Amino acid sequence: MRSMALHGPRWLIGAGALLAAAAANVLIGWGAAVGQKPLLLALGVGLLPALLIGFGALVESHRATLAWAALALNLTGIPIFSEPLPLPGGAKVFPTDVLLLLAVGAWLASRLSGIRARHPVRLSVVFGWPLALFAVAVTSGVLIGSERYGVSIVGQPLRVALYAGIALALTDVSVAAAWRAITVLFYAGAVVQSLWAVYYVATGTSQTESASLSTGGVRVLALSVAIYLTGSLVCALLNLELERRPGRQLAHLSVACLALFGIVVSFGRTTYAAVVLIVPLLLLTRRYLRRTVLVLLPLLLPVLAVAVIATLTVQPTILPTLSARLSGTSTDDSALVWRERARAAVLEGVDEDWLTGVGFARVSSFEMNGQVIRIAGDPHNSYLFLLAGGGVLALGSFLVLCGTFVIDALRRLRSTSPEGQALIVWSLATWLAFMVNALTGPIFSDPEMMMTIWVLIALPSIVSASARAPGQPR
């Protein structure tokens, strides 16, 4: 498969930026004429392309930091990063939207300046025709939803495709720099979240508003955090293979245990399933990793035993809660009933518009416990979210995109350095954790997680241009 080059002529990129500025300035006149937008907001939109390119010129050489920042938002445990920014006019702009705009601005500044990239990255074929096909299908569903239900065109469904633009932040970064950033970021996340978990366990509180579990007990860490901690766990395990010094290997294994602790107290059954799928695959396919874990784990068993005893002493309900989560799901499980009824309501009428869907943002309703529940988004199954809103075109094109990503990543895996292999395996494994959770959670309708998915899809592109394959001359 060929990679997608993003190094067009400067005049063409400049013309595109000029057209974007002209289109944005049209919004000034429109906002002033119909009086639906505050003048300051309209002026800001008009100046946005120039501001982006100006700021992009300042951060051009460090634009990969924008991608790392996108990964870090959910690892902080600070809810404010998940909320829209307090802007005038009622516009919902999330921190991830800002990161995307800055990434585009930094890339434009780089291309217009003509500065040669130090580590040029050609984005994989995923960002060619598969992305174009998916973007067209999603846009079709958005336009249908806008026409039928009168909702704004700009919203989360469009972000599902637009956030692919964050890949522009990764077009000049080396494998070593990327792996170092991921290690620092996800290790720090594991430590921070384990401290949050200890605090919540000690105080009997929870990180999330949806704390009560349908099987009884209280969730300690949020489900979204647990998915990111899966990335911390995989990163630590892969570093066990890269790092051969026993002292550092113990540090990596300790981080893996912290991440696993956070995953356990999130009590997310789908995340448990993802971990049970991913970790055995890693151990089965990577012999040195398997041997290292078997040698080092006994050394940590006393510490783990003390930690478990202390946790159960402070919060004795954790073990019964975990047992209830693992014992299986009954047909009376309220969470299961909610999801089944939500899915049935969202899919109503889709069989008549199976190709293009009924449009995004349709409000569906169902009854539960004598109450009418209305949902206008993800019915806790992101694949059905795409199917209902964009039909077979949206879901099918997304599956094609995912298949292309996996095939391309595996192709790169065969001829790269150990560090490059770690980057690809980590991207695939963490991406898989999100895809598994998308079966039972609102993943694609969450701005932070959708941007994370696109970063994970873009990361293997770094390997082909930056990593030296075994046997290649220096």
**DSSP-assigned states of every residue in 419-445:** HHHHHHHHHHHHHHHHHHHTTTS--TT
Tell me the two tokens of residue 274: 């993802």
Residue 354, C-beta contacts closer than 8 angstroms, at least 6 positions apart? 391, 392
Instruction: Output the DSSP codes for 398-426.
Output: HHHHHHHHHHHHHHHHTTS-HHHHHHHHH
pTM of the model: 0.85
pLDDT of residue 13: 47
Give the 3-state secondary structure of residue 367: strand
pLDDT of residue 176: 93
Q: Whose CA is closest to 176, among 469, 387, 471, 462? A: 462
Query: Which is it for the CA torsion 365, 435, 396, 2, positive or negative?
Result: positive
pLDDT of residue 215: 78
Can you tell me the distance from the alpha carbon of 351 to that of 344, in angstroms, rounded to the nearest whole number?
12
Residue 372: what are its φ and ψ, rounded to 5°? -90, 120
Residue 399, C-beta contacts closer than 8 angstroms, at least 6 positions apart? none
pLDDT of residue 101: 83
Helices (H), 35-72: 39-59, 64-72
User: CA-CA distances (angstroms) from residue 152 to 138, 146, 281, 350, 414?
Assistant: 14, 6, 43, 21, 45
Tell me the two tokens of residue 87: 């802007």
- CB-side neighbour CA atoms (13 Å) of 137: 27
pLDDT of residue 450: 94
Residue 324, C-beta contacts closer than 8 angstroms, at least 6 positions apart? 213, 215, 216, 217
Profile the chain (474 residues) by mean pLDDT over runs of 10 residues.
48 49 49 48 52 54 84 79 65 83 80 71 92 95 88 81 93 92 95 91 86 83 94 95 86 92 92 95 89 81 78 80 76 79 88 89 85 85 93 96 95 87 96 96 92 96 61 39
Helix (H) or strand (E) holding 368: strand 364-368
Tell me the two tokens of residue 101: 């705009």
End-to-end CA distance of the chain: 25
pLDDT of residue 34: 47
* Residues counted in the chain: 474
Burial (0-12, 13-18, 19+ Cβ within 10 Å), 332: exposed
pLDDT of residue 367: 86
| CB 416, CB 131: distance < 8 Å | no
Tell me the two tokens of residue 61: 């050489």
Can you tell me the distance from the alpha carbon of 317 to that of 157, in angstroms, rounded to the nearest whole number?
39
Q: Which amino acid is at 399?
A: L
C-alpha of 146 from chain center: 26
Helix (H) or strand (E) holding 375: strand 371-375
Give the 3-state secondary structure of residue 338: helix
pLDDT of residue 14: 46
Tell me the two tokens of residue 282: 């890693």
Residue 65: what are its φ and ψ, rounded to 5°? -60, -30
Q: Which amino acid is at 159?
A: R
Give the 3-state secondary structure of residue 366: strand
pLDDT of residue 299: 77
